[in-house]
Structure 1
Amino acid sequence: MAAKIIDGVAVAAKVRAGYRARVEGLKARGVVPGLAVVMVGENPASQVYVGNKVKACREVGLHSEVHSFPADTPQEEVLQAIQALNADPAIHGIIVQLPLPPHYNMRRLLEAIDLSKDVDGFHLYNVGGLVIGETVFPPCTPYGVQVLLEHAGIPIEGQNVVVVGASNIVGKPMALMLLAKEATVAICHVKTRELAQFTILADILVVAAGRPKLITAPMVKRGAVVIDVGINRLPDGRLVGDVDFDAVKEKASWITPVPGGVGPMTVTMLLGNTIAAAERQLERTLLQGSVAAGRTVID
């Protein structure tokens, strides 16, 4: 029997409906969640991704700003812009669109973002927090995978999970998040020998390697859940994942398509992190007001 499809578009729509209600609640209290995107250069793919984020913000009711800089802009100028956004109370989330021009220090820009506004979850504090399960904002793509599994009712606790790909953006945080859910996790990467010996053991296989059709049917255990994070454009223009979808779907129990699987969830979780940041800021403001009022009474 062919695998059931985990429809990321449908799940994202359900999640965003809940987000709209939270945004309306914030607006009723005088707060409009705001997301700022910092983009350097004119990478065509980045322009498409940023456009999708702006459209998603509009759909849910968030305020959004795009701060674009030519590729030859001095890094210090971009850092100053980030500091200004850190100080702007109307902005609750800040992201730096990757990739950056090669002469930029990516880590320096990411670390410049205020922790309370790091909605991409790339700051070292947030990444380190994954180790102890106390990150402020989980990275959006792994977070989206986790939500997809939850919506499909797929258990994580006690499952054997194999993550193919060890990037700082997807693979490593994904492994830590699933480990926190009490899965047994193995991470494979470009130096892994005999990849199939690992993937065939997976109850849940998450693939984020960036290689078209890397995972074939003989590499997948029958009944496994297969999450394909890869997005690759073929010479004929088609988008495909890292999994041989047509073959693997005949062995898997659940599988995500590409496009229409994990992709819609990444932007959705960015919206969720931004809304959460706005809610936290409102809580801090109310708490500070209560403390100030208490001091006034005492005085």
Structure 2
Amino acid sequence: MNGGPSGFHNAPITRAFVVASGLFTVFFGIQGRSSKLGLSYLDIFGKFRLWKLIVSVFSFSSTPELMFGLYLLYYFRVFERQIGSNKYSVFILYSVTVSLLFEILALAILKDPAVNLFTSGPYGLIFASFVPFFFDIPVSTRFRVFGVRFSDKSFIYLAGLQLLLSSWKRSIIPGIFGVVCGSLYHLNVFSIRKAKFPEVIASFFSRISWPSMGSPPAAPSRNIVGNAPPFTARQVERNYPSSMLSATEPTEDSIGTLVSMGFDRNSARQALVQARNDVNVATNILLEAHAH
């Protein structure tokens, strides 16, 4: 269970976040300051440190946390492919912001200036992602180990449990706040799931050159996201007239990526033609066609 095609194909926002998190962690690790990045009462209500508030979102405090955290962030790129980069950017901003507000509220209540109560790292985003993982990603295989039942999703849950317990209460509390954020997003509080950033943001991150982490193979026709319904070419044409379609023929890799997200092959090809083979734009076209 790998979350779809390998690498960051059609997941530019996830790629940028993973690279930023890795660079921040390495930078502060070299300086020997990783263990001091967790938020404390004095950081917020004493001598306010804005830089520490920002860094705490990206930088992990230890190498094991970095390994499990980046693995989970990389796997959860499937959600960016599912809902599109524009909406996934809102999900990231919402999860990070709301979980930080919960942490600040907890610091105000506990008022313990002696220690860093919360570990640093994108715990809000990672554990918020477990909510759509639980509801939207289906189990594809089941097996037994010494009589105990497991599924292909068990490995993701075990990695999350390891990360959650990595610093005990310093990591458990931010993890719980992340689950709360993901639940609020799933419940569509204040219609947050309809919000999305302009297309230019996803396009900007798509054009940045990053080190590659694998090439996107032709994806199977199996639905890996579990809740994306099939579409027909007529649905796409009804929302986007044929006069708008480009003559550019989509690549098999692009069609395979959309098919792996649960879309019908013909409607995927039609959307890619209209989007000039831009998978991000084509994904938004198909999602809007479904909304109508």
TM-score with structure 1 length normalisation?
0.29
TM-score with structure 2 length normalisation?
0.29
Give the number of the structure whose residues are more often strand, by fraction.
1
